[in-house]
Amino acid sequence: MAPNDSKGRMAWLEAEFRRFYSQTARPLMECLSDASGLYVSMLWGQLPTSLQNYRENIHDAYPNDETLLRQFAADEQLVQTGLEADVFGLAKNPLRVRVRMIDHPLEPSKRLSIKNVCCLQYFRQGRSYCYTCPRLGKKERSNWEP
């Protein structure tokens, strides 16, 4: 359980995030990299998009809980800027990325985040690039079909 005071909570949280990412997530990513032949940085690069989607779900589920949303933002900030690259075994923290947004193709009032790295979905039979693939430019996106 996290300490109740904010300073103690942040120290506890940083230690827990360091432990999780260095002792659980990093060995898993390195094992997946060895098994798949993909660069480990590409695997880590899949996480920011997932975390962005998770953030949006939290905001949608708890739009009026300002305390929870502030705490979530602070926790996310800690993961993005408080963890050094060595925790991930990389040259930089893979979660410290700038999210780029584009217009939603079917709902003009909504925006979508472009993936941090390509997920290689187009390699699967009968599939193409995702609409949010970073490999697509504006021209390719305007001609995109699901």
Percentage above 90 pLDDT, the chain: 69
Looking at every residue in the chain, the average pLDDT score rounds to 92
Instruction: Give pLDDT tens digits for 2-61.
Output: 888 888 999 999 999 999 999 999 999 999 999 999 999 999 999 998 888 899 899 999
pLDDT of residue 119: 92
143 band by pLDDT with thresholds 50, 70 and 90: confident
pLDDT of residue 105: 87
For residues 80 and 96, is the Cβ–Cβ distance under 8 A? yes
CA 75 to chain centre: 14
pTM of the model: 0.85
Question: What is d(CA 53, CA 51) in angstroms, rounded to the nearest whole number?
Answer: 5
Secondary structure element (H or E) that encloses residue 102, with its range:
strand 101-103
Conformation bin of residue 24: beta by default, left when phi > 0, alpha when psi is -120 to 50: alpha
Give Cβ neighbours of residue 139 (< 8 Å, ≥ 6 apart): none
Instruction: Give pLDDT tens digits for 84-136.
Output: 999 999 999 999 998 889 988 888 898 888 999 999 999 999 888 999 999 99
What are the tokens at 62?
């708890």
pLDDT of residue 146: 66
pLDDT of residue 99: 86
Instruction: Give pLDDT tens digits for 35-51.
Output: 999 999 999 999 998 88
For residues 118 and 71, is the Cβ–Cβ distance under 8 A? no
Length of the chain: 146
